[in-house]
Amino acid sequence: MKARIKSTVVIGLVASLLGGYSVGVAHASDTPPPVVVTPPIWTPGMTDSSGQLVPPPLFNQDGTPFQNREQFAADIPQRTTNWFPGMRDSSGTEIPAPLYNLDGTPFVIGVSPPPQIPIYNGSDVAAGSQTLESVLSQTIEWYPGMRDRSGNEIPAPLFNPDGSAYVEGESPRPKIPVYADVPAPRAPSIPAEVTDKALIRKVNSEIKSTDVSLRKSSDAYVLAFDENISALDSSLYISAVNKRTKKTSRIAISIDSLGQPVAITKLDLKKFNVFIKRGKSTLNKVKIGEPTL
């Protein structure tokens, strides 16, 4: 009787092992293949999972201009594509290489990380996403030694937008466009009027005792003082007297976005005698220098 029980247990154990093995094989052969999700083709009126309208894309995922809906799979998570030299938008306009990386270092093709260009135009499928226009209008802070596309050093600011003297490390630094050449002036502003009589007397004395010059740039004259001036304000201006007709023109002094004082005018000031004035008082005669490159 004991031998029969022992053999029954052994047979049952072998059967159990074989049964377990056969079940394992059955599970492996029944495993379904992985699900491959094909992104949908973009169509007008398409919405994302939140119900937000998916706008027409500017670019395909490879960065080429979007032209028809059959060529674009709306891979919604992908919202940007790498910029490359010669890249054009949907209107055929070339997207320029940036001047700077976002950390302020010069952009070098093939070395710097390529900027990210948004695939979609207008309001994107994600709240707060950038448009192409917002990317191209990005700015970074100026820093000492920064150079423009031509390799020319961008000068240190002389004044803050309110006309007070720029102090490195204390004054807010001006903003430099990432994608465009640095214009002068850019978004100029006229400083407020100074009411401190002691400061007015000090500035008048400083202007009288230094050489003052104007140098033509692309669309303005940049004002330069041989010695530092404590402040500029709206009561200071340029008076230009036509050498032939003696007609006088008054030109405001503005502060551009780079902190440089500028006189914005279309007049050719070489044909004028030019003075810097406060009210009716003439403070100094202004020299007209050679145009800047």
What is the per-residue pLDDT across 60-70, written as a single tens digit (0 to 9) for each? 666 777 666 55
Q: Strand 221-225 to strand 236-242: parallel, antiparallel, or no bridges (unpaired)? A: unpaired
pTM of the model: 0.56
Rounded distance between C-alpha atoms, residue 185 and residue 188, angstroms: 6
pLDDT score of 35: 47
Q: What is Dmax (Cα atoms) for the chain?
A: 139
C-alpha distance from residue 140 to each of 64, 98, 102, 104, 198 (Å): 28, 12, 6, 6, 37
Which stretches of the chain are DSSP H helices? 2-29, 132-136, 197-208
Q: Is the pLDDT of residue 8 over 60?
A: no
Q: How confident is the model at residue 178 (pLDDT cuts 50, 70, 90)?
A: confident
Rounded distance between C-alpha atoms, residue 202 and residue 198, angstroms: 6
Domains of the chain, first to last: 184-288 (2.60.40)
Report the DSSP beta bridge partners of residue 284. Answer: 276
Q: Strand 248-255 to strand 261-263: parallel, antiparallel, or no bridges (unpaired)? A: antiparallel
Rounded distance between C-alpha atoms, residue 63 and residue 148, angstroms: 27
What is the per-residue pLDDT across 21-73, written as a single tens digit (0 to 9) for each? 334 444 545 665 554 445 556 666 666 666 666 666 667 666 777 666 555 55
What is the per-residue pLDDT across 202-239, written as a single tens digit (0 to 9) for each? 999 999 999 999 988 777 888 989 988 999 999 999 99
Per-range mean pLDDT, top range of 52-61, 66-75, 77-86, 248-257: 248-257
Average pLDDT over residues 130-144: 79
What is the per-residue pLDDT across 258-285, written as a single tens digit (0 to 9) for each? 888 999 888 899 999 999 999 899 999 9
Q: How confident is the model at residue 155 (pLDDT cuts 50, 70, 90)?
A: confident
Rounded distance between C-alpha atoms, residue 146 and residue 143, angstroms: 6
Bond into 98 cis (ω within 30): no
- The DSSP 8-state label assigned to residue 10 in this structure reads H
